[in-house]
Structure 1
Amino acid sequence: MTTRSSTETLNLDDLTDPVLTETQRQILDYTESQHVTFDIDEMLAEAVQQAGSFDLADDDGFADRLAAHVAAIESDTGLRQLIRSSLRARVIRKVRNRLSLTDLLKRYPEIASIHIERPLIVVGMPRSGTTHLVNLIAQDRRRRALPYWEAEDPIPTLGQGPDVFGVDPRYTRVKAEHEALMASTPYVAAMHDRFPEAIEEEVELLDLDMAGYVLEWHARVPGWRDFYLGLDHVRHYGYLKKILQALTFLRGPRTWVLKSPQHAEQLTPLMTTFPDATVAFTHRDPVAVIQSAITMMAYSDRLRRTSIDPDWLVDYWSDRIHRLLTACVRDRDLVPADRSVDISFHHLNGNEMPVLTSFYDLAGIDIPPKVATRFQAYIDDNRRGAKGRIPYDLRRHFCVEPDELRSRFGFYFDRFDVRPEI
């Protein structure tokens, strides 16, 4: 994969009216000829065959959530067959992992007694520095984090061990998928590079229970948003804890570092499930968040959708971020002040050690010299724009005035130290 210079500004002149590369045209020419269907019985049969198990542990309506998830995908008539194929494979993978988890818990009941003690949790809007911060904290090898390859495929299939070189087949599979993504949409690395070792969100784990908001990032599914928001998330975060217990059993008993923007609107279930957590909230200008998110979405949609529709992206994601922040401001005090810290985006600017030290002090954790050295090395190697600079431009690409959009978020600026960026 080509490494981009930090001084390179990437060209997004065709963001909302894409001009496809020859590689992209070839991909779509092939995949559009392959019609993808979402027959639930067929997908379940494939998952059962892969897992070698058939117990879905459906004691709380999983089948209904699965049906709602699939129906939401089918309701989006603008998806190309390429993304439909990817989403179908994702559903099968989540169900297979659920089957494998149920089987693992039956064979090793002691997993249920594993304590998930005093996790460090990063919470904030998407595109607000949560990924940067959790990857920074994960440089502390005393922490147990969730790399992307494991988030995508958390529970090994019974009988599938490492290859002759000792490499986990789940890692190999995710690495191949990442390389294919970089070949087809290379600017993704500068926006949000999910390479296999990168630390990612445990919200992917929630979709083993079909209870996460992730589908909103793959398709235009307001029906799923409403269904997801109506769920009893205390129950589903309890299921997330089961998965973390299993992962601790499989790969080592260390204190977890977790992160997800979804937690910002689910603070009650988060703190009910992890009452001794120490939480770092990241905060950023919502207009910059929306601009960044919809630019990334529009770029990805050149292969995912038959049309971009920038107005839809503005309307949906400005509303979505508003909903998330409304819940976050409402529930912020559920996390005790002596176990939480608010970190503004402008503090994640290459001088993160002071805010990181404050966070560790709250958690009662020391930072030995070797760990401090690892932290600083990561900061130095991952400065903003290191993989190319994206010319984000809300006015030019989406015909929106930043101040007009920002006027919806006065309640958020009143509560936290947030600086307008645009």
Structure 2
Amino acid sequence: MADGVIRAGRKLGAVGHARLEKDFLLDQAMQATGLDDFGDSWFECPFEALLESVNGEARLNAAGDFSAMKQFHHILRDRLYTQMWFRRHPEILARPLKNPVVIVGPMRSGTTRLHRLLASDRRFAHLRSFETISPVPRPEFEQVLAGEMEDFRPKLASRIMKVARLANPRTLSIHPTGPYEPEEELGLLVASMWSMKHDAQWHVPSYARWCEGQDPVPAYRHMADLLRLIGWSQQESSLRPWILKTPQHMLDLPALLEVFPDARLIFTHRDPKQVVGSAASLAWNQTIIYSDHNNPERTGREWLGKTARMIERMRSARDIIPAERMIDVQYEDMENDWLSTMARVYRFLELDIEPALAGMQRYLDRSADLKRRPHCYSLAEFGLSEGDVNDRFADYTESYGIPVETRMPASSARRAAN
């Protein structure tokens, strides 16, 4: 419906055609804000690679290119506002980011559940969903801090989520969330035009390959500064360690550790058949919103390869991490006995789990309401076989003792508790 409305509006001259051009988009953001400092210009290189791939490969429909232009405008405007806040309050950049706890695992390997359980403990700081959508407060935010007005960002996040669910109702079952739910920091990397979010939203394979050959330390430095800004906007104690997680870190562990040298790492693992099938389903259900030229078999091949590269780079980077700084968590252990598994995690973090249990139970009760239907998928619908996936990841599953089903259920109605 949105695609039809935009097409009709363009025919009538009421809606302009999308211009996915770097200089045009930069100029539009500067005109909208009256600002001209985007911070570190490093982001322009991935931006150029992304635009080239979007324009040449994504084959966006009218709703897709319209939303892409709006998304880029939002990101660029936020970069301008970010530098504005740093000039207004230079003390923000002095906030420490000590001992973050970083969950590192493939998409759909239980990272969300682990992240939200830890985020329910008030001894940690965490992002909320509206903050990963709109990490940067607007210029009038000091009035919010003074209690003179309401922060508009949660309402904006709620509207965006409603639109996404209308566009594809399955998004609710794949990744249940709400404006105030704990959320990953992928949006903070998107601020540098860097992240797997683009792969899962559009068909941009050349951008993905280009990123895999780059050093993303500048994107992680900007992410760290945005965490400082968000902590300041939350009026959060800088003594509380952040709980972080996004599958992007599997590809970028050396950069993560350069920016957060004292990070404590929790690695999650799951049967690759479930990871690949669920990740392909997540990407498929997003790309079909923005393009009318999607192919499920192509999506399956892309995410089989992407998952393999993520695991390969993660395994390579682990060789330089001291053993006492990391712990492995199996998806099946969380499924079978979450409490004992979380107790082991808390022993690793050298914290008493008892003060966190009430908050964890409240999250579990709330999550039952958030997730109203199971996420259903199969490998076959994406042109993949169980044997191919088992063979490709055999060394990984054996090395990390990952329980592997000999055969997935014949039905695609496999519940994927992320």
TM-score (norm 1): 0.87
Q: 2:127 aligns to what SS in structure 1?
A: coil
Paired letter, 2:171: V
Paired letter, 1:67: E
Q: Paired residue for 2:414?
A: none
Find the partner of 1:214 among 174, 177, 197: 197
Matched, 1:287 2:273: yes
Find the partner of 1:379 among 361, 364, 372: 364
Alpha carbons 1:117, 1:255 under 8 Å: kept: yes
Shift in alpha-carbon separation, 1:143–1:301, aligned structure 2, 3 A: same
Per-residue deviation, 1:384: 11
Find the partner of 2:397 among 408, 413, 419: 413
Alpha carbons 1:32, 1:80 under 8 Å: kept: no
Shift in alpha-carbon separation, 1:368–1:306, aligned structure 2, 3 A: same
Paired letter, 2:33: A
Q: 2:102 aligns to what SS in structure 1?
A: strand
Matched, 1:66 2:47: yes
Alpha carbons 1:121, 1:259 under 8 Å: kept: yes
Q: Paired residue for 2:178?
A: 195
Paired letter, 2:125: R
Partner Cα separation in structure 2 for residue 32 and residue 220 of structure 1: 21
Q: 1:144 aligns to what SS in structure 2?
A: coil
Per-residue deviation, 1:121: 1.0
Per-residue deviation, 1:390: 3.1
Q: Paired residue for 2:249?
A: 263
Paired letter, 2:176: D
Matched, 1:343 2:329: yes
Partner Cα separation in structure 1 for residue 277 and residue 268 of structure 2: 17
**What does 1:199-278 correspond to in 2, within 5 Å?**
199-251=182-234, 252-253=236-237, 254-278=240-264
Partner Cα separation in structure 2 for residue 65 and residue 280 of structure 1: 28
**What does 1:84-233 correspond to in 2, within 5 Å?**
84-159=65-140, 162=144, 166-233=149-216
**Once the two structures are superposed, what CA deviation does each residue of 1:125-180 show, in whole Å capped at 9, x if it has no partner?**
01111111111111112211111210111111212555999531111111111112
Alpha carbons 1:353, 1:376 under 8 Å: kept: no
Per-residue deviation, 1:282: 0.7
Partner Cα separation in structure 2 for residue 203 and residue 232 of structure 1: 17
Find the partner of 1:46 among 28, 36, 53: 28
Matched, 1:334 2:309: no
Shift in alpha-carbon separation, 1:385–1:247, aligned structure 2, 3 A: closer
Per-residue deviation, 1:190: 0.7
Alpha carbons 2:200, 2:287 under 8 Å: kept: no
Find the partner of 1:390 among 375, 398, 401: 375
Q: Paired residue for 1:312?
A: 298
Shift in alpha-carbon separation, 1:385–1:329, aligned structure 2, 3 A: farther
Matched, 1:27 2:9: no
Partner Cα separation in structure 2 for residue 415 and residue 84 of structure 1: 43
Please, what is the CA RMSD of the aligned residues? Answer: 2.3
Q: Paired residue for 2:384?
A: 400
Per-residue deviation, 1:339: 2.3
Paired letter, 1:262: Q
Partner Cα separation in structure 1 for residue 110 and residue 124 of structure 2: 19
Paired letter, 1:195: G
Q: 1:180 aligns to what SS in structure 2?
A: helix
Structure 1, 121-130 or 94-103: larger mean CA deviation: 94-103
Shift in alpha-carbon separation, 1:209–1:111, aligned structure 2, 3 A: same
The answer for unaligned runs of 5 or more in structure 2 is 11-16, 409-418
Find the partner of 2:38 among 56, 61, 68: 56
Alpha carbons 2:104, 2:268 under 8 Å: kept: yes
Paired letter, 1:319: G
Per-residue deviation, 1:315: 1.2
Per-residue deviation, 1:257: 0.5
Identical pairs, percent: 25
Paired letter, 1:303: I
Paired letter, 2:6: T
Alpha carbons 2:58, 2:203 under 8 Å: kept: no
Partner Cα separation in structure 2 for residue 272 and residue 119 of structure 1: 13
**Once the two structures are superposed, what CA deviation does each residue of 1:299-322 show, in whole Å capped at 9, x if it has no partner?**
334332213311211111111111
Partner Cα separation in structure 1 for residue 58 and residue 191 of structure 2: 25
Paired letter, 2:226: I
Partner Cα separation in structure 1 for residue 120 and residue 324 of structure 2: 24
Alpha carbons 1:314, 1:398 under 8 Å: kept: yes
Partner Cα separation in structure 2 for residue 386 and residue 230 of structure 1: 37
The answer for unaligned runs of 5 or more in structure 1 is 1-25
Shift in alpha-carbon separation, 1:165–1:81, aligned structure 2, 3 A: farther
**Once the two structures are superposed, what CA deviation does each residue of 1:268-315 show, in whole Å capped at 9, x if it has no partner?**
111222122211111011221111122233333433221331121111
Matched, 1:325 2:340: no
